[in-house]
Amino acid sequence: MGSVPLDDIVAAIRRSEREHGREALTNLERWLLEGCNLEAYALHQGGFDYYLAHIDGPEAWADASAALYAMELEDAAAVVRRAVELFLATDGGGADPSGMRNYLDQMDGLDRAFAGLVPDLETSLARFADRFYPFADRGPPSG
């Protein structure tokens, strides 16, 4: 893999987003950023329900799915799409306890399916960055 760690690439993308706005990011930058958000929130912190509740909006969710498609992880992208559809259709299960239980059971199943499809999403994202992100294969400037 390249000499620039994925965390450094994502930190640079986040800085650019803060300084210039999201609209200044390239598709690839948004895909890497949202792919990393998906990896952190959905795989390591609390699953899809947590991810969808904390990452605002369909645009970000679409970028995460696009990252998966770009990495040729179509089955994983389909699971993300199903989780988004469930989240939007049920509004988090609503106030009904049985509806909430059903919602959480379905999300849990999607979480397990996703984890099985992308057991090491961080490595896939790093390889994707190495392959396509400008300068990812170069070390720090000399001098």
Q: Dump pLDDT digits (tens) for 36-51.
A: 999 999 888 989 999 9
Is residue 102 situated within a structural domain?
yes
Is residue 116 situated within a structural domain?
yes
Is residue 118 situated within a structural domain?
yes
Enclosing domain of residue 79 = 6-132
Take residue 7 and report the two structure tokens written for it: 């965390």
pLDDT of 122 strictly over 70: yes
Is residue 138 situated within a structural domain?
no
| pTM score | 0.81
Which class for 29: exposed (0-12), middle (13-18), buried (19 or more C-beta within 10 A)?
buried
Is residue 142 situated within a structural domain?
no
User: How many domains does the chain contain in total?
Assistant: 1
**Residue 140 has what pLDDT?**
44
pLDDT of 136 strictly over 80: no
Is residue 140 situated within a structural domain?
no
